[in-house]
Amino acid sequence: MFDNLTDKFERAFKVLKGQGQITEINVAETLKEVRRALLDADVNFKTAKDFTVRVKDKAMGENVLTAISPSQLMIKICHEELVELMGGNESEIQIQGTPGVILMSGLQGSGKTTFSGKLANYLQTKKNKKPLLVACDVYRPAAIDQLHVLGEQLGIEVYSNKEEKDPVKIATDAVIYARSKGFNVVIVDTAGRLAVDEAMMDEIARVKKAINPTETLFVVDSMTGQDAVNTAKAFNDRINFDGVVLTKLDGDTRGGAALSIKSIVDKPIKFVGTGEKMDALDVFYPKRMADRILG
């Protein structure tokens, strides 16, 4: 993950090796490389530009105050700014209410159903919760079956109703069912489409209004780079989600989505998916991710 970005950052910092002090010239040269590294990783253009401006201002300001070498200083500042770029501190999932309701959104194939299973498993095994999974994709019976397979595998009940064609009704019935059966978390998996379209947005917005979730998560495939960021913006403008789940970070992803999403939609990344298995789920820690990027 992010191997290319790590290599390119390393190369950028080499510009400062052997330099006695930070100067306008060597900082500019380093940051030109840093900016190129970010753009090659598919980071949003403005995000990359703003990042280098902040690093430059900090480097010129801190220069006189420090005894560490120019390259160490630059690594330290880039680390701090990468952490900020990805949201600063980790952001916990909010589950209040009886039951607490979590709504999934995202395009088809992003990993929504897989993540719904992973999250239910995480809440059951790590947070001592009793989750109910809800299948709300009324267009693809296979999606409902997929959730049932995961539920069976995890020993977690799945609520569905193949006769009912209104996802709002399924979701509201599921919340009532959960309350009556003592489930304390409801995870609602919704239908996605291959691309952003009005009918999908309208449907998710209606489900959201009806069940009033404490947490609406937007699930996105990290391999899709800037597209991931554009899709995030479209969903956020319409349904105002609370957090992002970046999936497929185990693949050959360049890092653009992880680094750009927070600055574009101002919502934190809460979880990352790192594989197809049900335990391949991590809480997103900006500091650890910055450690990884800088090698």
Tell me the binding residues for GTP.
Answer: 106-113, 189-193, 247-250
CA 142, 281, 259, 28 dihedral sign is negative
* Residue whose CB is less far from ligand GDP, 50 or 250: 250
Spatial CA neighbour of 48 closest among 198, 248, 259: 259
Q: Smallest gap, in angstroms, from Cβ of residue 145 to ligand GDP?
A: 11
Question: Which residue in this structure is represented by tokens 């990884």?
Answer: 292
Contact residues: ligand GDP, CB under 6 A: 106, 108-114, 192, 247-248, 250-251, 273-276, 280
With b for 16 or more beta-carbon neighbours within 10 A and e for fewer, the 35-48 pattern comes to bebbeebbbbeebb
Count helices and strands (H / E) in the chain. Answer: 11, 8
Amino acid, single-letter form, for residue 179? R
Q: Smallest gap, in angstroms, from Cβ of residue 39 to ligand GDP?
A: 25
Yes or no: say if 91 and 177 are a contact pair by the CB < 8 Å rule. no
* Residue whose CB is less far from ligand GDP, 65 or 142: 142
Write out the two tokens for 123. Answer: 């809440």
Q: Smallest gap, in angstroms, from Cβ of residue 144 to ligand GDP?
A: 11
Which residue's beta carbon is nearest to the bound ligand GDP?
273
Write out the two tokens for 41. Answer: 């990783």
Whole-number Å distance between alpha carbons of 199 and 161: 21
Read out DSSP for 19-86? -SS--HHHHHHHHHHHHHHHHHTT--HHHHHHHHHHHHHHHHHHGGG--S-HHHHHHHHHHHHHHHHT
Q: Smallest gap, in angstroms, from Cβ of residue 88 to ligand GDP?
A: 24
Write out the two tokens for 168. Answer: 């709002």
* Residue whose CB is less far from ligand GDP, 88 or 251: 251
Q: Smallest gap, in angstroms, from Cβ of residue 166 to ligand GDP?
A: 20
Whole-number Å distance between alpha carbons of 145 and 219: 20
* Residue whose CB is less far from ligand GDP, 91 or 113: 113
* Residue whose CB is less far from ligand GDP, 248 or 262: 248
Q: Smallest gap, in angstroms, from Cβ of residue 8 to ligand GDP?
A: 24
Whether residue 70 is preceded by a cis peptide bond, meaning omega within 30 degrees of 0, is no
Q: Binding site membership: which residues?
A: 106-113, 189-193, 247-250
What is the bridge-based pairing of β-strands 158-159 and 269-273? Answer: unpaired
* Residue whose CB is less far from ligand GDP, 49 or 140: 140
* Residue whose CB is less far from ligand GDP, 196 or 294: 196
